[in-house]
Amino acid sequence: KTAQHLIKDYIDSNAVLQTDKSTTFSDLSDCIDVHVREISGTQEGNFNLKWVHIAISNLKKHLQTYHMISERMMQNYLDEFCYKLNRRYFGQKLFDRLIIASIYPYWHDCG
């Protein structure tokens, strides 16, 4: 019921939702028009959601390093994790990308 409530609030009803065959997402027909349920990580080689599960596992491990996280600060921790996840392959160019990101709005507004 919690998943249905969140999906109704935050996902457009015309969207295509792809999930694994968890019982959490068993009855979403009244929330979403198209719901694709796939087995993830089986012997047949369906690994469509493998990296989603790895990212969730890494997020849980990341949050365990902090103790007593308040609900008020939870979004900050999630934002930090997303920032690190999206920039994990930048390597040596991370500083250059940071400079570009910090001055880009100035260039965009002026020209």
pLDDT digits (tens, 9 = 90+) for 68-99: 888 888 888 888 888 888 877 777 887 887 78
Q: Counting Cβ atoms within 10 Å, is residue 7 exposed (0-12), middle (13-18) or buried (19+)? A: buried
Predicted local distance difference test score (pLDDT) of residue 85:
84
Helix (H) or strand (E) holding 37: strand 34-38
Model pTM score: 0.49
pLDDT band at 111 (very low <50, low <70, confident <90, very high): very low
Residues 12-66 have pLDDT tens digits of 878 888 777 777 777 777 777 887 777 766 555 555 667 788 888 998 888 888 8
